[in-house]
Amino acid sequence: MNDHRRLGRELGVFDTDPLIGSGLPYLLPDGAAIRKSVEDYVHELERRHGYRHVHSPVLGKRELYERSGHWAHYRDDMFPPMQVGGEEFVLRPSLCPHHVLVYRSRPRTRRELPLRLAELGGQYRSEPSGALGGLQRVRSIQLNDGHVFCPHEQAVEEVGLALDLVERAHTQLGVRAARYRLSLGGRSGKFVDDPELWARSERVLRQALRERGQDAEEAEGEGAFYGPKIDIQIADPAGRESTLSTVQVDLYMPARFGLSYVGGDGPPAMIHRSVVGGVERLLAHLVEVHGGALPAWLAPVQAVVLPLSEAELRPAESLVRHCVAAGLRAELAAPDRGSLGARVRARRRVPYQLVLGPREAAGGEVAVRSRAEGGRGRVRPVAEAVADLAAACRPRF
């Protein structure tokens, strides 16, 4: 079984160190390359669908989380406050209060809505040690988060559009949803005590699912403290489920912060949505699902150049530079690292292997071997081969 805790370390995706602490993994260069590819893809996908990107601090005053409701309903999962200059600051458990403040940073008009904000930012959860594991459950989460502020009558449409984004991204990533879960509130003190608010929010989600013809299993007590949500569950190769993406309806926080817009008769609705969830959990899933052989656009190394002998080393180094200039993540596997066969086998997960023998080097050509197709490789002019590989390694939007 492709357990990411073993395979991720073997592939140089991530590691941990007791001096940093439990639940705080760090990404190695290959893991950082995968993360950057995901981040760039999602950023462009969101931009094409009307999102404006923001950046906000990972700290906030305790007062912010008291206003948002996190302190009353979510405090057990937060790190304790820090005393700085006579004030209490908290590592944020979520990005939504910050985005609420971005919304209210100036007056808004009906014409501006829906306002779609997005950010990939850090949030922190005080997870118990026994719940931590690899990249799946961590204390520091880099979350692809976003919030849509819209009139209530547009909420169903915005939920549908958010689900469209989730499905598009999952297709590009090679992720398959195990099921959709309609996560509802409960009777405990964990949830905001406002039955009418919950009923209105649930109606929005149910209608959005109904219009899509999408079935969803109901799970009482799994909602956010401020409202219900649609969780897109994924399953690892062993069949264990976890939540990757989510779409939530929040009618609570906009009122708590006194949000308004010119032309409206009350606060806007707030749609929370995460297209690909936490980067750490996504990386764990991708490593396991693809067995380390990631799609070309995600692979940390997209092309490896293999000179047959020392005589082809200089043109091979030039070819690596050509690939890098074209936007490819490429590296050299020099002859001193073993026979050609051994070097090919060691890089079997790399999408493209570019072999240079004396004939190819003399003729300005290269033998291109694809991981997907196998075989000895097709000999092609260098410029043509590099241009085609660069195109093949771009994500589709």
Burial of 100 (0-12, 13-18, 19+ CB in 10 A): buried
The tally of CA atoms less than 13 A away on the side-chain side of residue 224 is: 26
Report the greatest alpha carbon distance in the chain: 77
What is the predicted pLDDT for the residue at 397?
83
Domain ranges of the chain: 4-290, 303-392
Cα-based angle 251, 253, 257 (whole degrees, multiple of 5):
125
Decide: 217 and 206 in contact? Cβ < 8 Å.
no
Tell me which of 3.30.360.10, 3.30.930.10, 3.40.630.30, 3.60.20.10 is the CATH number of domain 4-290.
3.30.930.10
What is the predicted pLDDT for the residue at 357?
93
What is the predicted pLDDT for the residue at 229?
97
Going residue by residue through the chain (397 aa), what tens digit of pLDDT does each one get? 688 999 999 999 999 999 999 999 999 999 999 999 999 999 999 999 999 999 999 999 999 999 999 999 999 999 999 999 999 999 999 999 999 999 999 999 999 999 999 999 999 999 998 888 899 999 999 999 999 999 999 999 999 999 999 999 999 999 888 899 999 998 788 899 999 999 999 999 999 999 999 999 999 999 999 999 999 999 887 788 889 999 999 999 999 999 999 988 899 999 999 999 999 999 999 999 899 899 999 999 999 999 999 999 999 999 999 999 999 999 999 988 889 889 989 989 999 999 999 999 999 999 999 998 876 678 999 999 999 999 999 998 8
Global pTM value: 0.94
Q: Which residue has the tokens 């808004």?
A: 108
DSSP reduced 3-state for 370 = strand
Among 145, 137, 178, residue whose Cα is nearest residue 289: 178
Q: Output DSSP code: residue 329.
A: -
CATH topology for the 303-392 domain? Rossmann fold (3.40.50)
